[in-house]
Structure 1
Amino acid sequence: MSAAPSREVARRVFAREFNDATYTFKESNEERAPVYALLPTGERANRVFVVGTLTETEDVGSESEYWQGRVIDPTGTFFVYAGQYQPEAAGVLRETEPPSYVAIVGKPRTYETDDGTVNVSLRPESISIIDAGTRDRWVAETAMRTIERVETIADANTEYARMADEQYARSVDEYKQSAMSALEKLDEEASPEPSM
């Protein structure tokens, strides 16, 4: 009896860390082996779960529809691209009027520019319109997950922690700081302004 292959867990990640995840790898030589982005905090991600404000959409396709979306979270910007192979996601990008809160599950993609810079984008599997409360819960949960990854990578002697150490010449503390900053922004938004 063969089990159906299970989907990879979608990792919660802020834009700041996502955009720094420029190293990708496969764990086998099989043609259809999953491609993983290596998060600088020492976790592999074949799929990610992100939330933010969709601020712009544009059809950047030349021969067929190919939608680009710009999604902003408290730490930075995700660029999302959907075309004929992601018809539902492309439809949401086409029909949504920015600004709107969105939740996206998708796959990280990297591409190298002519000058050798590696850019990271997101190919969505699904995009949902959400409310502010859902966005706030995602920010809080993602901040906690990011802080946990930062705190465990220092002690972890895992394959992915070592790989992140080799691939990224930066301190993971900056991701902890940006997660704390995101939580502070949430608190500021939740606190009513004092009346004069």
Structure 2
Amino acid sequence: MSASTSASVPTREVARRAFAAEFNDATYTFKESDDDRAPVYSLLPTGERANRVFVVGTLTETEDVGDDSEYWRGRIVDPTGTFFAYAGQYQPEATSVLRETETPAYVAVVGKPRSYETDEGDINVSLRPESITVVDEATRNRWVVETADRTLDRIEAFETADEYAAMAETQYDPDLSIYRDQVIAALEDLEDDAEVAAEA
């Protein structure tokens, strides 16, 4: 591929890792340009922008909530909270996984954050999955450890960080100790699981 053609191909954004508790707090979205096709970013309270996210958790519940056509909602739980993923006719692969997977099952999801305002004026954040894959417990455990590391990195860099940390400070005025506590709780949850498995 020559340089001239590669410039017109949009590069896929890195999928960020975030625990459910932080993801659900990421209610502020923005674009970096006025171009209609410019990516929409969700601003994580720990100071990172996310156009795509990578999450792994337990798919505990699926439901077809569509009226005229299939529109599936999946409830995915990690040690800090719950992600809601919605897939319809434009995400056929993700839709079929939500339709066919027996719950509970560990799943890995790559998708885009979506926020919408409820009738009550609250902002809810959900995932529009690009892909959903059934995975094993080891994959889930590795995701928890790696996501804990990334979250702590963001917290530690926050004071000296870039424009996104400054933006998060302005938009959320976040109490970063909450996210640190969630990291610790998530890792302790893994240790408890490991102990239970060892005893079994």
Report TM bin, short chain.
over 0.9
Q: 2-side partners of 1:12 and 1:188: how far apart?
A: 22
**Which of the two has greater helix per residue?**
2
- Which residue pairs with 1:146 in the alignment? 151
* Structure 2 contact 74–84 (Cα < 8 Å) conserved: yes
| Residue 57 (1) aligns with residue 59 (2) | no
The RMSD of aligned alpha carbons is 1.3
Q: 1-side partners of 2:65 and 2:196: how far apart?
A: 41
| Residue 163 (1) aligns with residue 158 (2) | no
**Any idea what SS the aligned residue of 1:137 has?**
helix
Structure 2: 5+ residue runs without aligned partners? none
Q: 1-side partners of 2:122 and 2:198: how far apart?
A: 46
Map residues 1-196 of structure 1 onto 2, 5 A cutoff.
Answer: 1-3=4-6, 4-156=9-161, 158-192=162-196
Q: 2-side partners of 1:192 and 1:179: how far apart?
A: 20
**Any idea what SS the aligned residue of 1:107 has?**
strand
Amino acid of the residue matched to residue 118 of structure 1? Answer: I
**Any idea what SS the aligned residue of 1:127 has?**
strand
**Any idea what SS the aligned residue of 1:64 has?**
coil
Report how many residues are paired.
194
Amino acid of the residue matched to residue 109 of structure 1? Answer: R
Q: 1-side partners of 2:198 and 2:135: how far apart?
A: 29
Which has the larger displacement, 62-71 or 167-176? 167-176
Could you state the TM-score of these two structures normalised by the residue count of structure 1?
A: 0.96
Once the two structures are superposed, what CA deviation does each residue of 1:91-137 show, in whole Å capped at 9, x if it has no partner? 00000010000000000000001111000000000000000000000
**Any idea what SS the aligned residue of 2:62 has?**
strand
Q: 2-side partners of 1:16 and 1:129: how far apart?
A: 22
Q: 2-side partners of 1:28 and 1:48: how far apart?
A: 21
**Any idea what SS the aligned residue of 2:82 has?**
strand
* Structure 2 contact 168–174 (Cα < 8 Å) conserved: no
Q: 2-side partners of 1:81 and 1:192: how far apart?
A: 33
Could you state the TM-score of these two structures normalised by the residue count of structure 2?
A: 0.94
Which has the larger displacement, 177-186 or 48-57? 177-186
**Any idea what SS the aligned residue of 1:2 has?**
helix
Q: 1-side partners of 2:198 and 2:157: how far apart?
A: 39
Runs of 4+ in structure 1 deviating by more than 2 angstroms, as ranges, are 191-195
Amino acid of the residue matched to residue 30 of structure 2? Answer: F
